[in-house]
Each structure stands twice: as C-alpha cells, then as structure tokens.
A and B are shown apart, each in its own frame.
Chain A
Amino acid sequence: DAKTTQPTSMDCAEGRAANLPCNHSTISGNEYVYWYRQIHSQGPQYIIHGLKNNETNEMASLIITEDRKSSTLILPHATLRDTAVYYCIVRVEETNRDDKIIFGKGTRLHILP
C-alpha cells in the first residue's frame, strides 16, 4: 500500500505557482520522497526526489518539513502542459536494497487558462 496521502485534485491558474502537498507521517529515516507525474496517455515521468533537504531542479522544487512527515512539490510557473496526475512516493534506498516504487492515486492537477 502507498505510504502517502495526497488531495484527490487541485486547480491552479496558469502562470501561478502550483503547490502540491503530500503527507507521509510514517516515513522512516532512510526513506526518500519521490515525485512523479503522469500526463494523459503517457507513462509516469520522474520529477524530483529528496531525503531531508529541500531540492530544486529544472522542473520543480521539493520542500520537506523538518520532521519529514510532509512535503510540498512546487511548480513555480505552471503552464497548461503541467496538467497531469502527480504522485508522491516514499521508498528506501540503500546499497543492498531498493524498495520498489509503489504508486498511490495521486493528485489530479488542473492548470486553468
């Protein structure tokens, strides 16, 4: 079962920042937070991941709370192409063990023109 809780859907105006929350209150110290998104009729696409520090790449920023029980994915300037289902996932990464990536139902993000 997925170890995360996300809102079912969200709306965001085009050009504004989209902030997608995720709760992972049972996260363990060695579990990373991953985000993927799935645009209609395509396979999921990796966005970003982190352990405890905030992370930023060309697609998004990931803010993880100090207690690591929740995180927020930020799309700084949302465009219509960002309309997709966004999945928050926690998984272990260790040298001799990788948890398989288990998807929940995700958040359906609608970018409004």
Chain B
Amino acid sequence: ETGVTQSPTHLIKTRGQQVTLRCSSQSGHNTVSWYQQALGQGPQFIFQYYREEENGRGNFPPRFSGLQFPNYSSELNVNALELDDSALYLCASSIHTGGNEKLFFGSGTQLSVL
C-alpha cells in the first residue's frame, strides 16, 4: 500500500465527452505526477504539479489539464475525449526535495472511451 488513492477505478465514456480523474496523495507529499499507460506500453508522463502549479509537462495536447489543491490532492481533466485516450491513468505522489525523489503510485483509473 502506497497511501495514494485514485478514483474512480474504472470509467466508461463516449467520444467527445469530458472526464475528471482524482488522486489523493500520500500524507506529507507535495508533488503529484500523472501518467497515461496504454495497453502493453510503459507509463507516459503527462504532467507534474508542485505546490499547486504545473512543474513540467510531457507531449500531451492542451485538452489534458490538471489541478492541485492546497491539500496536495489533484485532478486530471481530459476534454473532447478521443478513442485513443482509452488507457490506465496513473497518479504518483512524491516529496520534492531536489534529490532522491521516489514516486509512490496509486493503482490507477482505467478509462475506456467508446
């Protein structure tokens, strides 16, 4: 158990819809990273939030957006869903220390876009 919880665990949406995924960080962690994992692939970095601000972004379009709240929990929002957005979405929390930063992952949200 990592102390990182994600909700919901599974979700089905249709193309064009919007979705919000949620993540609660491990206690004491101030940084949240989001990853997308397609079937059979490694996790792909979407973005990271540190102290409520975006702190790095991967190669994802602007319709992928996020928020981090004062309690360091986080949301991932995806607008105008496409079929290729079907994937496991992973949240990871960490302590931004400038070194030896280990990520602690939740079990993910499985999103299916029909």
Contact = CB atoms under 8 A, between A and B. Distances in A.
Interface residues of B, number: 27
B61 interface: no
Interface of A: 2, 36, 41-46, 49, 85, 87, 93-98, 100-106
B99 A94 contact: yes
B76 to A, nearest CB: 14
Interface of B: 2, 4, 33, 35, 41-45, 48, 56, 58, 90-92, 96, 98-108
Q: Is the interface of B mostly helix, strand, loop or mixed?
A: loop
B98 A101 contact: no
Given A93-B99, A94-B99, A103 B42 contact: yes
Nearest to A101: B103
B105 A44 contact: yes
Given A42-B108, A95-B98, A100-B56, 4 more contacts: A46-B103, A93-B101, A98-B96, A100-B45
